[in-house]
Amino acid sequence: MKVEISHIKNVYFVGIGGIGMSGLARYFHTQGCQVYGYDRVNSPLTQLLQSEGISIVYEDQVDLIPFSFKNNSSENLVVYTPAVPQNMEILQHFRSIDQRLFKRSEVLGLLSEDKFTIAIAGTHGKTTTSSLVAHLLKDTGYDCSAFLGGISANYDSNVLFGNNDVLVVEADEYDRSFLTLHPDLLVVTSLQADHLDIYGDYEHIVTSFKEFLDNKKENGWALIQKDVPLYGDSYYSLEAKDTAIYAKDLHAENGHMTFTYVQGDAELTDLELGMPGLHNIENALAAIAIARKLGIEDAKIRKALKSFKGVKRRFEKIVDREDVIYIDDYAHHPEELRALLKSLKVLYPERAITLVFQPHLYSRTRDFGKEFAQVLSQSDDLWLLDIYPAREEPIEGITSSWLLDQVSTDSKRVLSKEQVLEAVKNSPPELLVTAGAGDVDRLVLPLKEILKG
């Protein structure tokens, strides 16, 4: 039976604290629905949702479910994330009353059905690219709504509301979520092995992305990064001049970068992106191409590009002083770490890099142990935190010490969060980086306080 989103009055989110789920929760709350949720962890994001008027519980107990959800109703919508255990009491209750359960991706698919949808996919780079596309459309007056996979620093939110039918969506490949979307315009930023606990191998990931491309609307347009093994309508690359869209004249100075955008005979010279990182210049190429595809004037694009403040936890400068620079980043895959370290070395060639990295998932650490060790060896001083398990149980023999043994850097150690704070207090690094997708971000505020002294 088809769900009529317009008829929904009450929404319950199981795993409301995730970045994608919280965006949907905010959307329905803004639409006037009564919104409730459960999450395992009381976090800054859940606290923010509560301050906005959303009711959240942190215990898996049926008696904490609101009265309106005690019985099945067509006015109720229950949304869950695959990251939560399927044997939860709350989920079992909803199944027992035959209340249909929706994944976040299914709800996104329903919301985007009657929209002009711009979907940004890729194993890396999709959050920054989708946030930049949304900013270009907002800042130039074209307008859009957006569901983002991170907190936009310009709008301090992961969901944006517009006054037209244009919707920018971060299309997540995890659990094949993006296959519910039927985009008008789409971008694939990268395609590398990841989520092997879901896909099994790289070939199945590629197959899933091919299905995603097949889902584009009849007159849709697909922009593909050059190294991605997919066929699109156009291609882009950082500096490969044999692609339709590329960058040239890249200059880095004092942590800032300028470049020229090239598309056929058109050149946008001396562009400045409001956030650093070589990989983010490539992300910007895709965003500019989408804006130009929509007919937005180059002069407006130039202005909007410079005012882009980035995404929280994406090459985010926390402290920027002559004696110490501190950057926080979401990088949790070897290729993301490689791009992060490469950009750091270009922007700050004279500074030694102290990297605090928290591996994310036992399975990912095991599957990419060799690749992690190679890229982590590029840091000057490596501090590993324990593996963040998220949805997983421990895997025998797979620990941060196991990973550290494979790293060739001379200066390396496994530390607790408390030991990291103590080490920074005793001897502040000249370039400090925290990276990971777990709860390593809990170090950001205390480290900021220590370094600002």
Q: Which residues are annotated as a binding site for ATP?
A: 122-128
Encoding tokens for residue 350?
A: 């004279």
Residues comprising the chain, all counted: 453
> Which amino acid would we find at residue 375?
V
Locate 445 and state its tokens: 């505020």
Residue partners of 393: CB distance under 8 A and separation at least 6: 362
Position of tokens 């929904």?
8
For the sheet containing 325-329, what is the strand order?
A: 316-320, 325-329, 431-435, 353-357, 381-384, 412-414
- Closest among 431, 179, 401 to 320, alpha carbons compared: 431
Written as six digits, the tokens of 56 are 């959240």
Q: Which residues are annotated as a binding site?
A: 122-128
Q: Which amino acid is at 284?
A: A
51: buried, middle or exposed (CB in 10 Å: 19+, 13-18, 0-12)? exposed
Strand order in the sheet with 266-272: 157-160, 145-152, 166-170, 116-121, 185-188, 221-225, 234-237, 245-253, 256-263, 266-272
Residue 349 CA: distances (Å) to CA of 119, 228, 259, 320: 36, 30, 19, 15
Report yes or no: 171 and 126 within 8 Å, Cβ to Cβ.
Answer: yes
3-state class (DSSP) for residue 83: coil
Q: Which is it for strands 381-384 and 145-152: parallel, antiparallel or unpaired?
A: unpaired
Cβ(210)–Cβ(119) under 8 Å?
no
Q: From residue 65, give the alpha-carbon distance in Å to each of 50, 69, 93.
A: 16, 7, 9
Strands 157-160 and 185-188: unpaired
- How far is residue 212's CA from residue 218's CA, in Å, rounded to a whole number? 13
